[in-house]
Chains A and B, each alone.
Chain A
């Protein structure tokens, strides 16, 4: 069955450092991969989308890579700030069904 794996342990980093979150998937051939941010008690907020034929996407301090051979995406936040503390969800959708499947997310805690 399709499976999305995100590190269940929280990632603790110091302000100013680069945070790197990982999303691995199995039994899936996604056409699109997305990253969302979710704050406690709130709905997810879309951050970035990358297509299967793209290696890297950037938006301000955010960078996403997508390696379909390794079946992995990396999500980087450079110059991290305490306000970046949240849970980050990876989501995959295929070309046929645009409805994404979400991972459980990884909690990021940025310490001042």
Chain B
């Protein structure tokens, strides 16, 4: 089991609310990622980070924002949740080295429902 933790596991919230999805890893990995996944569909990269104070947008356009102030912590924030944000959000990390940086360790995910 990977040492990467996401909270909450499930969140049901009303439209317009601000939410923060938490992600922490204890493996000392410099690279961290956020994916969005709908049932039966591919994982889509929405944000990633190479290290502290580094954040980049992924392939899938997202209204969310991220921050990386500490190596182990990579929270995702939605300023104003909408029903279209309903999805599963997965956080991952990877290490250094030619092989290790290609291997992703995932958290259990946050299932978000916006009413």
Contacts and interface: CB of A to CB of B under 8 A. Distances in A.
A44 B106 contact: yes
Interface residues of B, number: 26
A83 interface: no
A72 interface: no
B75 to A, nearest CB: 17
A43 B102 contact: no
Contact of A43 (B31, B41, B108): B108
Interface string B4-43: 0010000000000000000000000001010000001111
B41 A104 contact: yes
Contacts of A104: 40-42
Given A41-B109, A42-B109, A34 B90 contact: no
Contact of B105 (A41, A46, A49, A105): A46
A22 to B, nearest CB: 16
A45 B102 contact: no
Contacts of B111: 41
Contact of A34 (B33, B40, B88, B102): B102
B104 A44 contact: yes
Contacts of A36: 104
A4 B41 CA distance: 12
A93 interface: yes
Interface of B: 2, 6, 31, 33, 40-43, 45, 48, 88, 90-92, 94, 99, 101-109, 111
10 contacts: A42-B108, A43-B109, A45-B2, A49-B99, A98-B31, A99-B33, A99-B45, A99-B48, A100-B102, A105-B42
